[in-house]
Amino acid sequence: MPDADILLTVDKLNKSYGPLAVLKDVSFSLRRGERIALIGPSGSGKSTCLRAINFLEQPTSGDIRIDGQLIGRHANGRRMTDAELAPQRAEIGMVFQHFHLWPHLSVEANVALQPRKVRGLAAERAAELAAGLLAKVHLAHKAGDMPSRLSGGQQQRVAIARALAQQPKLLLFDEPTSALDPELVGEVLNVIKELAGEGRSMLLVTHEIAFAREVADRIIFMDGGRIVEEGPARQVLDHPREARLRQFLSSLSKEEARP
């Protein structure tokens, strides 16, 4: 059953909040090096799906596996403690809509924090690692600044460097540009494109359809907590089969056309 090419498997994932079923039998897999864009209307369950993948939300049922390893639960079904989960979470880097940088730490210290605390790197080695990652997101010159001095686009690039510092196998992005002023969106998308060019495995929630077309191998469209359609990016975007997807895509293009 385990396929060496498969990095992430989501199998019959369900999540309910009380009586509200938010994810309904969501199943898909992501191959090593693959980039999947998760799209869908607001409230369709995209963020919950991402959060369940690294157990920021505990699934009501279903299995998540990275490299064949069950996330969040032992084979006997017992839920892992946060300490047991920490090394699994380190394999999954997450970038949120809001950057959540530590305001009292320099940019470099924000990036170096996880490698020091979780991987136990010496301060000097962690600082070196952070400097390299800040160069990768084109912010080497901001290493010593406090986050509040940076623009939103720069802060989000620091958040990306921080996610990379975990040396994750998989990157999750949840609408990484939707809190940004329009003129700052491009610099963040460019950094994500560069990471895609390195063959990193990623699952991205985005409303930027042109970006999804360019960067994603595959697109998954969710509505009402279910996967409604999925397939190669161009096929899904240019020849949508499902009426709900056609409706969603035309609502987005109307939004873009608005002055």
Work out whether 47 is an interface residue with Mg ion (CB under 5 A).
yes
Say how far apart CA 92 and CA 205 lie, in whole Å.
Answer: 15
**For ligand ADP, which residue of 9, 44, 156, 166 counts as binding (CB under 6 A)?**
44
Q: How many residues bind ligand ADP (CB under 6 A)?
A: 11
If contact means CB under 5 to 8 A according to the sort of partner, which of Mg ion, ligand ADP, none does residue 42 touch? ligand ADP
Cα-Cα-Cα-Cα torsion 75, 78, 83, 86, nearest 10 degrees, comes to 50
Tell me how far, at minimum, the Cβ of 44 lies from Mg ion, in Å. 8
Tell me how far, at minimum, the Cβ of 163 lies from ligand ADP, in Å. 19
| CB atoms near residue 74 (< 10 Å) | 10
Say how far apart CA 219 and CA 16 lie, in whole Å.
Answer: 24
Q: How many residues bind Mg ion (CB under 5 A)?
A: 1
**For ligand ADP, which residue of 9, 47, 54, 206 counts as binding (CB under 6 A)?**
47
Q: Between residues 42 and 148, which has the closer beta carbon with respect to ligand ADP?
A: 42
**For ligand ADP, which residue of 10, 26, 34, 45 counts as binding (CB under 6 A)?**
45
Work out whether 43 is an interface residue with ligand ADP (CB under 6 A).
yes
Strands (E) across the chain are located at 6-17, 20-31, 35-39, 61-66, 69-70, 92-95, 170-174, 201-205, 218-223, 226-232
Q: Between residues 2 and 43, which has the closer beta carbon with respect to ligand ADP?
A: 43
Q: What share of the chain is helix, strand, coil (3-state, %, to 5)?
A: 40, 25, 35
Work out whether 17 is an interface residue with ligand ADP (CB under 6 A).
yes
Residue 174: strand pairing partners: 205
Residues that bind ligand ADP (CB under 6 A): 17, 20, 22, 40, 42-48
Residues that bind Mg ion (CB under 5 A): 47
